[in-house]
Structure 1
């Protein structure tokens, strides 16, 4: 085999070879995959066939209303898919459904019976979904009622972060976020104001330097910060400083704002309602009902550094007095012994009530005496 010369080996490809490569590249150009610069779900080539051909076709060819409802649910379920592979799988499934619906509409008896059974299944599932939605909505509404903000009767004093507001429990999220955002905005304004002051001083320093340089130098130069340009630099900076100062003035006005009369009346009415609510709560407790405040009172105790000074009997009496709202009977006796200001039992009833209670007490005493006599007679006679 004859050896190639140095010129033949390194002379590069021939013109015919270059033309052949270009011809092959032109043939392969349509086959090369092109990656779009936008997501596929924003392309009209995806949206139009999916919405107008597939979704619209499925709705038109659906055998009944229940199947149409199911198609809407499925499309809303998968509307946020961003994976091309998963989207392709769902689209292939949808086109298979469209083919089945079309064939059933054209008269295929087997597919019509299949879709009829499918519709009955969807109807049962639809009822279940609707009732589940109703129950979840009621649960969410009950949760909102339990945690709804109520007026406590106190004032949320005006500050630079908020105007005059009523104190609410729990405090609404939008009020908390408003205060938080205003705090962050004021911090940013302070930092920006400090930076603008430094920038203003730097512009003045540069302008003075250029003025001195123009007076003492014989070399001409074009000024950047001095002369007419100095005012243009300062105007933009001073405008931003004025806006920041106006925001500070708005904060001051907010902190000095007065409560409107309507809001004051609303807060005072909330105080009166709080008293009425606590009165109803105590009445429910006195009637024997166990409510949340009853459980909290029963858990009340005394700190160890205080209770260790008392004897066990004194600690027991104090816990009895603290954990009950009663003022009669044994609890009333304990509270009087501890020095509580409690009226005498006779003073807590009207004359008619006292007469009725005295009669009932006398009847109970007579019945108890009768039972004791009968028990003594049976014991003497040896009867059980």
Structure 2
């Protein structure tokens, strides 16, 4: 009869290492082994980091170690984790042992493997680019209605990346502009309050006989103390108005004619497909 409790996975040190505290420790109830500090901390500091440190002179082994640990990061099975740790401790023992030629052979084998993988990835990326260029976007017979971020456009399949990035960049720019305008409006209000305060202080001291120093005194802002911020707010408001005008644009007749032709071609193609399917079923 098998127990319903899963055994805990403890660090598996090399044969020549014995840690009594780990052998006598018990895992708290309700804590899975992959979250138990008695497993995670020694595994990280006594196995993973020594592997990286020992593979400094072997870049292929270092790369393979990182990728294998990243791949096995989600393991929750006790037997599979135990097998993986035993393999890694065996590799660490080879690194520690002096004058092992098997490590050099392993390095050469992994270097050839990584070279093949890199070549395959490069070919796959080139093939993907060729496929994208081989399939130019085509009209689907639908409309991409105008919004704050795009003018009236026809629906294309596949949609060009330039259009997607245009919408994305304009959306992020609008969010940043809204935050900046709120900040500038708050600063402008603070400047007005402070200017009014100092004006009242001067009038109280000189009984109103002094000149108004709150306008035109600073050469950096001849239009007033708040001129720079008002200009920034006006520029941002103009951009908001331009977005509103973009959202209110309409489709021109030429574009609507192209979309209508694409829709008719699509409907004709679907009718032909249905007719072909019915004829094959009756036959």
Kindly name which structure, 1 or 2, has the bigger radius of gyration based on alpha carbons: 1
Please give the range of the TM-score, normalised by the shorter of the 2 chains: 0.3 to 0.5
TM-score, normalising length: structure 1: 0.36
Higher relative contact order (CA 8 A, sep 6+): 2
Q: Which one has the bigger helix percentage?
A: 1
